[in-house]
Structure 1
Amino acid sequence: MKATPTSEAELMARARNIAGLTFGELAQEAEMNVPETLKRDKGWVGQLLEWHLGAKAGSKPTQDFPEIGIELKSIPISYAGTPLESTFVCVAPLVGVHGLTWERSHIRNKLSRVLWLPVEGEREIPVADRRVGSPLIWSPSTEEELMLKNDWEELMEHITLGQINQLTAHSGEILQIRPKAANSRVTTGAYGANGQPIKTLPRGFYLRAKFTAYILETYFSHSV
């Protein structure tokens, strides 16, 4: 793995250096095997990009580049350049949430500064032949952060009131909560409507594809 970048400029230079290269070319340098499909290796692309960019955080609950305050997010895109799926941000807290505010939340920290890396995601393109796109550094504007905060507060209110199982993928305008587990046998603690402890699927915060599409469309022209 490459050394951790010490500045945003260094990170962007590395990201630009891998733009246009295929996963196969990047995997060869990193001495990583390329999976035939990503169905069972959903985290493989992220690990490949982290190796080349020098991210050290791994699965720790912090930014991927904590020293320079930047999170890395890859976005599988279609031939038309639009996101093919929603983007996982972080695990949603289901217990110990009383008194938690947006300003002190893990998700706000993650989204405060993001390096977006579009990658080809059409399934008919062999994984090894898929290319990395041009990087984009983004921080939410005042209006965008307010939208995220409003969604977060609405979603967290359901969790606080013990209504976790009433949340669906339709809840939230640009931010949603969805199950985040390898299978249905994985459970975690939460609270029911009467405050009693219950077991439920772990949940994660996801940005809707329409929001990441808006980010790419709005900010890419400014970053070139």
Structure 2
Amino acid sequence: MKTTPASESELLERARSIAGVSFGELAEQANMKVPENLKRDKGWVGQLLEWHLGAAAGSKPVQDFPEIGVELKSIPVGYNGKPLESTFVCVAPLTGITGLTWETSHIRNKLSRVLWLPVEGEREIPVAERRVGSPLIWSPSEEEETLLRNDWEELMDLIALGGVNQITARSGEVLQIRPKAANSRAKTEAYGASGQPIKTLPRGFYLRAKFTSYILDTYFA
């Protein structure tokens, strides 16, 4: 693995140096085996990019590049350059949320500065032949942050009031909460409508594809 980048400009330089390169070539350099498909290896692309860019956080609940305060997010895009799916941001807290505010939230920290890396994601392109796109560094504008905050507050209110199981993929304008578990047996603690402890699937915060599509359209232009 490469050393951690010392600055944002160094990180951006590294990201630009792998733009246009195939996963196969990048995997060879990193001595990683290319999976046949990404169904079972959803995190493989992220690990490959982290290796090349020198991300040190691993699965710790901090930004991928904590020293320079940047999070890495890859976005699988289609032939039209539009995101093919929503983007996982972080795990959603279901307990111990009293006193939690948007300002102090883990998700706000993650989204405060993001290196977006579009990657080819069309299923018929063999994984090894898919290429990395041009990087983009982004921080939410005031207006974008307001949209994110409003959704976050609405979703967290539902969780606090014991309504975690009422949250659907349709809840939230730009941010959604969805189950995030390897299988349906993975259960975590939450609260029910009358405040009693319940077991439910872990949840994750995801940015809607229409929001990441808007980011790519707006900032790449």
TM-score (normalised: structure 2): 1.00
Q: Paired residue for 1:29? A: 29
2:141 aligned partner: 141
Q: Once the two structures are superposed, what CA deviation does each residue of 1:88-117 show, in whole Å capped at 9, x if it has no partner? A: 000000001111100000000000000000
1:129-148 CA distance string (max 9 Å, x none): 00000000000000000000
| Alpha-carbon displacement from aligned partner over 1:179-222 (angstroms, at most 9, x marks no partner) | 0000000000000011110000000000000000000000012x
Number of the residue aligned with 2:63: 63
Q: Distance in 2 between matches of 1:62 and 1:200?
A: 25
The answer for the alignment partner of 1:13 in structure 2 is: 13
Separation (CA, whole Å) in 2 of partners of 1:137 and 1:101: 25
The code of the aligned residue for 1:81 comes to G
TM-aligned CA deviation for residue 84 of structure 1: 0.1
Counterpart CA distance in 2 for 1:69 and 1:56 is 12
**Hey, what does 2:182 align to over in structure 1?**
182
Match in the other structure for 1:155: 155
SS at match of 1:28: helix
Q: Which digits, 9 at most, give the CA deviation of each residue in 1:49-96, with x for residues without a partner? A: 000000010111000000000000000000000000000000000001
Which residue number corresponds to residue 194 of structure 1?
194
1:206 aligns with 2:206: yes
Distance 2:115 2:201 in 1: 29
Paired residue for 1:82? 82
Distance 2:33 2:208 in 1: 30
Structure 2 partner of 1:168: 168
Partner secondary structure for residue 119 of structure 1: strand
Could you tell me which residue of structure 2 aligns to residue 215 of structure 1? 215
| Percent of pairs with identical residues | 80
Moved over 4 A (4+): none
Q: Which stretches in structure 1 are left out of the alignment for 5+ residues?
A: none
Instruction: Give the count of matched residue pairs.
Output: 221
Structure 2: distance between partners of 1:76 and 1:12:
19
